[in-house]
Amino acid sequence: MRTRIQFKLLALCLCLFASNLAALRADCITAPSGLIAWWRGENNALDQVGANHGVMINGATFAPGKVGAAFLFDGVNDSMSIANSPAFSNLPQISFSVWFKFNALPTNKWEMIITKGRVTGPNSNCFWLFRAADDDRLQAGVETAAGLSGVSTSQAFNDTNSFHLAIVTYDGAQVIFYLDGTPISTNFTTGNVRTDFDPILIGQRNGPGVDGVGDVMNGLVDEAAVFNRALTFQEAQALFDAGSAGMCVAPTLNIAPLPGAVRLTWTTNATGYLLETNSVLTLPAGWGVLASNYSILSTNFAVTNAIGGATRFYRLHKP
Ligand SMILES: [Ca+2]
């Protein structure tokens, strides 16, 4: 039984991958390809698309964000940390995307939004986005073997009222800084993004920084995402246009064994999806909507389904 259930779990993963192409919400957009990490801030530090889960540091918490909830940093010592991963190393191309909102902008204060590296000059960075203390501009960029390649706003950034979307792309030749879907700054470099062993930090830089605690941010960061390729102009604009709908999240189906039955649960509203079953892993034929001989355990997306001796597979599928 245990082996069969484990196999079913694997099968479910495969099936859900196939069905993930469908959108959960009509107004969200399909995530661009190359998405290797996505921290949504939905009251947890989980990576939506991989295993690079984060850790909330020094009481960092959550608050209403741009797309659902967001990470909230108090500007004292809060941040969110994601351990280094091979997925973030030696990348020939990269993009990173964050919605951010400052709650306060103290004078002469560095405010780190997302960083990988110590951000203390050459040979200390992978990529970064922060508000500079000296000129109050938003500054971003990547570091390669060729050196630092920075991009920035042309003027001081002083807004503490609204969320803004920052996207930085690097295609192996050009770094582009998109603010709210519009390219505002470009730079040129070559080579892979520098590799280090530092964590990705949201709301902080690695090391003490100027304020002694990593130049922590006072504000919110939402839907932080890293891609292993350069997003296009159209993709950057589409992410901004999606606004509070964000990128689509497919529901995940969980399965647990019960005596003579299985319990199927899903935690996200799966509007438009059908709960289907099959006796073999055949795509797309063979799948049928689960007959109504199951018991609804609760209105929170949980049912039990009696099983006989035969193996059954289950999936949430949007026709
Ligand atoms: Ca969110």
Higher per-residue pLDDT: 120 or 53 = 53
Higher per-residue pLDDT: 17 or 285 = 285
Burial 239-269 (b: 16+ CB within 10 A, else e): bbebeeebbbbbbbbebeeeeeebbbbbeee
- Model confidence at 298: pLDDT above 80: no
Structure tokens at 28: 């969200």
The CA distances from residue 108 to 131, 134, 202, 284, in Å, are: 10, 6, 20, 59
5 band by pLDDT with thresholds 50, 70 and 90: very low
Q: How far is the CA of 271 from the centre of ligand 1 (A)?
A: 19
Q: How far is the CA of 68 from the centre of ligand 1 (A)?
A: 4
End-to-end CA distance of the chain: 31
Q: How far is the CA of 64 from the centre of ligand 1 (A)?
A: 8
35 band by pLDDT with thresholds 50, 70 and 90: very high
Query: Would you put residue 33 in left (φ > 0), alpha (ψ -120 to 50) or beta?
Result: beta
Instruction: Kindly report, as residue ranges, where domains of CATH 2.60.120.200 are found in the chain.
Output: 35-245
Structural fold of domain 35-245: Jelly Rolls (2.60.120)
Query: Would you put residue 144 in left (φ > 0), alpha (ψ -120 to 50) or beta?
Result: beta
Q: How far is the CA of 210 from the centre of ligand 1 (A)?
A: 29
Phi, psi of 285, rounded to the nearest 5 degrees:
-75, 160
Kindly report the average pLDDT of the chain as a whole number.
Answer: 87
Q: How far is the CA of 38 from the centre of ligand 1 (A)?
A: 10
The CA distances from residue 42 to 61, 109, 219, 223, 278, in Å, are: 10, 28, 16, 9, 32
Q: How far is the CA of 221 from the centre of ligand 1 (A)?
A: 8
Q: How far is the CA of 222 from the centre of ligand 1 (A)?
A: 5
What does the alpha-carbon distance between residue 165 and residue 106 come to, in Å, rounded to a whole number?
21
Higher per-residue pLDDT: 269 or 45 = 45
- How many CB atoms sit inside 10 A of residue 104's CB? 12
Q: Of 64-73, 188-197, 306-315, where does mean pLDDT reach its minimum?
A: 306-315
Q: How far is the CA of 71 from the centre of ligand 1 (A)?
A: 8
- Model confidence at 293: pLDDT above 80: no
Residues in the chain: 319
Q: How far is the CA of 262 from the centre of ligand 1 (A)?
A: 31
Listed residue (227, 226, 221, 225) closest to 57, CA to CA: 221
Residue-wise pLDDT for 275-289, tens only, equals: 888 888 777 678 888
- Model confidence at 249: pLDDT above 90: no
Higher per-residue pLDDT: 109 or 288 = 109
Q: How far is the CA of 249 from the centre of ligand 1 (A)?
A: 11
pLDDT value, residue 14: 35
Query: Would you put residue 68 in left (φ > 0), alpha (ψ -120 to 50) or beta?
Result: left
Taking the alpha carbons of 172, 177, 182, 188 in that order, is the dihedral positive or negative? negative
Structure tokens at 207: 């090391």
CB 217 within 8 A of CB 80: no
Q: How far is the CA of 138 from the centre of ligand 1 (A)?
A: 22
Share of the chain above pLDDT 90, in %: 66
- How many CB atoms sit inside 10 A of residue 100's CB? 27
Q: How far is the CA of 296 from the centre of ligand 1 (A)?
A: 29
270 band by pLDDT with thresholds 50, 70 and 90: low
251 band by pLDDT with thresholds 50, 70 and 90: confident
| Those residues with Cβ within 8 angstroms of residue 165's Cβ, 6 or more apart along the chain or in another chain | 66, 97, 98, 99, 178, 179, 180, 181, 239, 240
Q: How far is the CA of 307 from the centre of ligand 1 (A)?
A: 37
pLDDT value, residue 250: 73
pLDDT value, residue 268: 59
Residue-wise pLDDT for 97-106, tens only, equals: 999 999 999 9
